[in-house]
C-alpha cells in the first residue's frame, strides 16, 4: 500500500446545493431551527506520496467528523469514490452524499479525519492528523434565501513552519490569479531564502505567460535589492528559447536598472543565441534597455564565448550614446599602416630610392655612393576620440630586414605628433635601439605611461643609417595598437 500525505487544506465556507427549503434559523429571540438538507462544505486538499510528489488519478476518500482532536465521538461520515486528483489537487463537497448533521453548523469546533484509497489498493490509509474546522452560517431576518458565509478566520500574522520536499504552500487557479496580495505601506510579497541554490520568490509558468509579473501605475512593478557583491536583486535565468529577463514598454523603460557602485541590470543565459537580457520598446523615442550608474556600469554585458552585449534595430539606431556619455572599450584597437605610403621626411642632394615590393614591403636603397642617414615617415590617419572616448597609442610593432648586416640598419623608431605650434612636436614613442637583422624580424616598442593623448596630426618615423652604397633596408608590417586607457 502506498503511503500518502495530505496538506494545505482549505475550508472555504458553507454553500447550499439548493436555495429553497434550506432555512438557516431565525434571527428572532426564540430558539433557532436548523435544516441541514442540501448544505455542503467545500473542501480542497493536496495529496502527495511520502516523497512529496503530487499524486494523479482517481482516488476514494472517506471523510469523518469528530467532536475531538483524538478519539471522541464520530458525528458524521461519508465516502466519496473516484475523486479526480490532478497535480495533487482535489476538491470534495462534504455532505453531498450523506447530509450533514445539525452539529456541523452549530458546534463551536469539529475535527475532520480523512482516509484515502488509491488505484489498485484494497485498504484505506489514514491521513493524519485530524484537521480542525469551525463552520458558521447566518441568514437575514427578512429573506429566507440562504447565502454562503465568509470564512470566519484570516490567519493574519500566522507563521507556518515545517520541512517538506514538496511545496509548503501551493495555490492553483485555472482561470485567474493564484495569489493576489496588496500592501498600502510595504511590499505586497516579500520572500527570503537562506540557500544559495534557491530563491526568495520563485515564479514558474509552463505555458506562454510569465513566471513572475509585476505591474505598477505609479511605483515599481518588480523591485529587487541585493546587498552582497556578486548577488542579484532580480535574477533571470533561461536555459531554453525564452528570455532570462524580458522588459517591454510602450512609452518608457522596458527594463530599468540603477546602481550606485555596481551593476544596474545583470542577465545570464546558458543557451546559444539567446540573450541574457532582452529589452523591447515599440514606441518612437523609447528605449528597450536603459541603464544608469553613478559609480559603476549602468548596463554591463559579459560573455566567455559569445556576445556580451548585442543590439539590433529594424529601422532605427541599435546603440546610441548621447550628451557627454561615452562608449568605452577596454579592448585594444589595431591599426595597420602600409609601408607603400612611406615618404622621405626631408629632401636633399643625397639620393635614396623608395621602391614598393610585391610582398607588400618598401625597399629603401642608398644610392649616394657613401654613408648616409635618412629619415622616412608614415602618416597616421586615425581617430583622436572614438565614440566619445579619448584614444592613446599603446605600442608599435615593425617587421623588417636589412640587406647587409651592420652596414645598413634602423637606428631610431619614433611615433610623433605636432604639438600645436609651428615647428613643434612631441613623441608618443621614442626608441633608439639599433635594428640590425638581415633576416625577417619583428620588434615591438611601447609608449610610456601615462600615455599621451592622440590629439593632433601624427606620424611615425624611421631613422635609417647606411655605411655602404646600394645598401637596402626593407620595411614590412607596421602595426599600431591603440587603447582607450592611458595606462
| pLDDT of 10 above 60 | no
What pLDDT shows up at residue 150? 42
- Ranked by mean pLDDT, the top range of 26-30, 111-115, 157-161, 261-265 is 111-115
Residue-averaged pLDDT of the chain: 77
Q: Are strands 425-431 and 263-265 parallel, antiparallel or unpaired?
A: unpaired
| pLDDT of 155 above 70 | no
CA proximity to 446, closest of 468, 413, 418: 413
Query: How would DSSP label each residue in 455-486?
Result: -S-EEEEEEEEESSTT-EEEEEEEEEEEESS-
What pLDDT shows up at residue 230? 65
| Cell digits of residue 471 | 645598401
For 456-467, how does the pLDDT look when each residue is reduced to its tens digit (9 = 90+)?
899 999 999 998
Alpha-carbon distance of 242 to 244, in angstroms, equals 7
What pLDDT shows up at residue 159? 63
| Domains by residue range for the chain, with CATH | 1-188 (2.60.40.2060), 237-299 (no CATH), 333-483 (2.60.120.260)
Each as own residue / partner, the long-range contacts of residues 136-145 (CB below 8 Å, 24 or more positions apart, any chain) are: 136/14, 136/105, 137/14, 137/24, 137/39, 137/105, 138/24, 139/23, 139/24, 139/25, 139/26, 139/27, 140/27, 141/26, 141/27, 141/28, 144/23, 145/19
Kindly list the distances between the CA atom of residue 288 and the CA atoms of 214, 260, 280, 291, 326, in Å, as whole numbers in the listed order.
17, 21, 4, 10, 19
- Name the least confident of 189-198, 302-311, 418-427, 468-477: 189-198
Alpha-carbon distance of 482 to 335, in angstroms, equals 7
Residue bearing cell 539590433 = 312
For 92-140, how does the pLDDT look when each residue is reduced to its tens digit (9 = 90+)?
999 999 998 877 667 778 899 999 999 999 999 998 889 887 654 433 3
Q: What share of the chain is helix, strand, coil (3-state, %, to 5)?
A: 0, 40, 60
| Cell digits of residue 150 | 465568509
Q: Quick one: pLDDT band at residue 27, thresholds 50, 70, 90?
A: very low
Contact 47, 6 (CB under 8 A): yes
| pLDDT of 400 above 80 | yes
Alpha-carbon distance of 316 to 282, in angstroms, equals 11
Alpha-carbon distance of 8 to 480, in angstroms, equals 70
> 335-349 b/e with 16+ CB inside 10 Å = b?
eebebeebeeeeeee
Rg (CA), the chain: 41
| pLDDT of 268 above 90 | no
| pLDDT of 29 above 60 | no
Alpha-carbon distance of 180 to 247, in angstroms, equals 22
For 236-253, how does the pLDDT look when each residue is reduced to its tens digit (9 = 90+)?
776 666 677 777 777 677
What pLDDT shows up at residue 323? 66
The average pLDDT across 405-425 equals 89
HEC letters along 6-53: EEEEEECCEEECCCCCCCCCCCCCCCCCCCCCCEEEEEEEEEEECCCC
Whether a cis peptide bond, with omega within 30° of 0, leads into 450 is: yes
Q: Quick one: pLDDT band at residue 80, thresholds 50, 70, 90?
A: very high
Query: How would DSSP label each residue in 79-109?
Result: EEEEEEEBTTEEEEEETSSSPPPTHHHHSS-
For 316-341, how does the pLDDT look when each residue is reduced to its tens digit (9 = 90+)?
777 777 766 677 788 899 999 999 99
- Name the least confident of 28-37, 70-79, 92-101: 28-37
Amino acid at each position: 500500500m502506498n503511503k500518502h500525505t495530505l496538506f494545505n487544506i482549505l475550508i472555504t465556507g458553507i454553500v447550499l446545493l439548493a436555495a429553497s427549503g434550506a432555512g438557516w434559523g431565525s434571527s428572532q429571540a426564540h430558539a433557532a431551527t436548523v435544516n441541514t438538507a442540501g448544505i455542503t462544505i467545500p473542501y480542497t486538499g493536496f495529496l502527495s506520496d511520502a516523497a512529496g510528489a503530487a499524486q494523479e488519478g482517481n482516488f476514494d476518500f472517506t471523510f469523518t467528523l469528530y467532536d475531538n482532536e483524538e478519539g471522541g465521538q464520530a458525528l458524521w461520515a461519508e465516502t466519496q469514490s473516484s475523486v479526480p486528483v490532478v497535480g495533487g489537487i482535489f476538491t470534495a463537497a462534504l455532505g453531498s452524499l450523506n447530509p450533514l448533521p445539525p452539529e456541523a453548523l452549530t458546534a463551536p469546533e469539529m475535527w475532520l479525519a480523512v482516509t484515502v484509497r488509491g488505484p489498485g489498493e484494497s485498504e484505506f490509509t489514514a491521513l493524519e492528523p485530524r484537521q480542525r474546522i469551525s463552520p458558521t452560517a447566518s441568514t437575514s431576518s427578512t429573506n429566507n434565501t440562504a447565502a454562503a458565509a465568509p470564512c470566519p478566520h484570516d490567519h493574519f500574522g500566522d507563521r507556518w513552519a515545517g520541512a517538506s520536499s514538496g511545496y509548503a504552500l501551493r495555490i492553483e487557479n485555472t482561470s485567474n490569479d493564484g495569489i493576489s496580495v496588496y500592501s498600502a505601506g510595504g511590499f505586497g510579497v516579500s520572500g527570503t531564502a537562506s540557500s544559495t541554490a534557491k530563491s526568495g520568490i520563485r515564479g514558474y509558468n509552463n505555458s506562454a505567460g510569465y513566471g513572475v509579473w509585476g505591474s505598477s501605475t505609479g511605483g515599481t512593478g518588480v523591485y529587487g535589492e541585493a546587498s552582497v557583491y556578486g548577488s542579484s536583486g532580480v535574477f533571470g535565468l533561461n536555459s531554453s528559447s525564452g528570455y532570462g529577463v524580458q522588459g517591454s514598454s510602450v512609452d518608457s523603460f522596458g527594463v530599468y536598472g540603477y546602481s550606485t557602485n555596481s551593476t544596474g541590470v545583470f542577465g545570464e543565459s546558458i543557451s546559444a543565441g539567446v540573450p541574457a537580457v532582452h529589452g523591447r520598446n515599440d514606441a518612437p523615442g523609447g528605449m528597450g534597455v536603459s541603464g544608469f550608474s553613478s559609480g559603476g556600469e549602468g548596463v554591463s554585458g559579459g560573455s566567455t564565448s559569445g556576445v556580451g552585449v548585442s543590439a539590433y534595430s529594424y529601422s532605427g539606431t541599435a546603440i546610441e550614446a548621447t550628451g557627454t556619455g561615452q562608449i568605452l572599450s577596454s579592448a585594444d584597437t589595431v591599426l595597420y599602416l602600409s609601408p607603400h605610403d612611406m615618404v622621405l621626411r626631408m629632401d636633399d642632394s643625397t639620393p635614396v630610392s623608395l621602391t614598393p615590393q610585391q610582398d607588400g614591403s618598401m625597399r629603401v636603397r642608398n644610392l649616394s655612393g657613401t654613408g648616409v642617414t635618412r629619415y622616412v615617415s608614415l602618416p597616421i590617419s586615425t581617430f583622436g576620440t572614438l565614440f566619445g572616448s579619448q584614444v592613446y597609442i599603446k605600442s608599435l610593432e615593425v617587421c623588417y630586414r636589412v640587406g647587409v648586416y651592420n652596414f645598413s640598419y634602423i637606428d631610431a623608431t619614433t611615433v610623433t605628433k605636432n604639438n600645436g605650434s609651428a615647428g613643434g612636436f612631441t613623441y608618443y614613442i621614442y626608441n633608439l635601439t639599433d635594428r640590425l637583422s638581415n633576416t625577417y624580424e619583428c620588434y615591438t616598442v611601447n609608449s610610456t605611461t601615462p600615455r599621451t593623448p592622440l590629439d593632433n596630426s601624427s606620424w611615425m618615423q624611421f631613422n635609417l643609417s647606411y655605411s655602404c652604397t646600394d645598401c637596402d633596408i626593407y620595411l614590412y608590417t607596421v602595426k599600431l595598437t591603440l587603447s582607450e586607457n592611458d595606462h
